[in-house]
Amino acid sequence: MSEASPRGTYLVISEALRKRISEEKTADALPSEADLMSEHGVSRNTIRRALKVLEGDGVLESAPGIGWRIVRGGDRRSLAERMTDLITEDSLSVGDTYPSEAKLCERFGASRTAVRRVLAQMEGNGLLATVHGKGRTVCALPAPAVRP
């Protein structure tokens, strides 16, 4: 990267990686973080932030001992979209109990950290509320999403 991006260097890199993944239909994994650092001329933290964006969008998944694996086919919605859509898919109503973190991790194959981040986002958007000792409940139904 020769100049800083007003949009965030990690976002520029994540979009470049997204394009690379869509063009290379046969690749199963990305180069190592060290190789990506050299290729883009940025720090490991910047590369990791870019990779986390793609992980959140369901494009990549971390594979311990392997690196970052490209997710092909299947559900391409982001974790946030899938967790929000769960309210409609499971026919939950306002006041119903939302699944626990453990059940969400198992259902979506996501880390507890990623699930907690999305839950906090859903609470901030007014979809969920947490009652200490009771768990999370649905506060509002999501607006119907328009997807191409």
Contact 141, 88 (CB under 8 A): yes
Tell the residue number behind the tokens 């139904």, with chain if given.
141
pLDDT along the chain (148 residues), means of 10: 64 92 80 93 94 85 77 70 90 93 86 87 92 88 67
Position 56 scores a pLDDT of 80
pLDDT score, position 1: 47
The pLDDT score that the predictor gives to residue 134 is 82
Strand-strand pairing, 135-138 and 67-70: unpaired
Query: Which amino acid, 54?
Result: L
Q: How high is the pLDDT of residue 117?
A: 87
Determine if residue 117 is left, alpha or beta; phi over 0 gives left, psi from -120 to 50 gives alpha, anything else beta.
alpha
Task: Say what the pLDDT of residue 2 is.
Answer: 46
Give the per-residue pLDDT at 3. 53
Element housing 128 (H / E): strand 128-131
Nearest to 137 by CA among 95, 87, 99: 95
137: DSSP letter: E
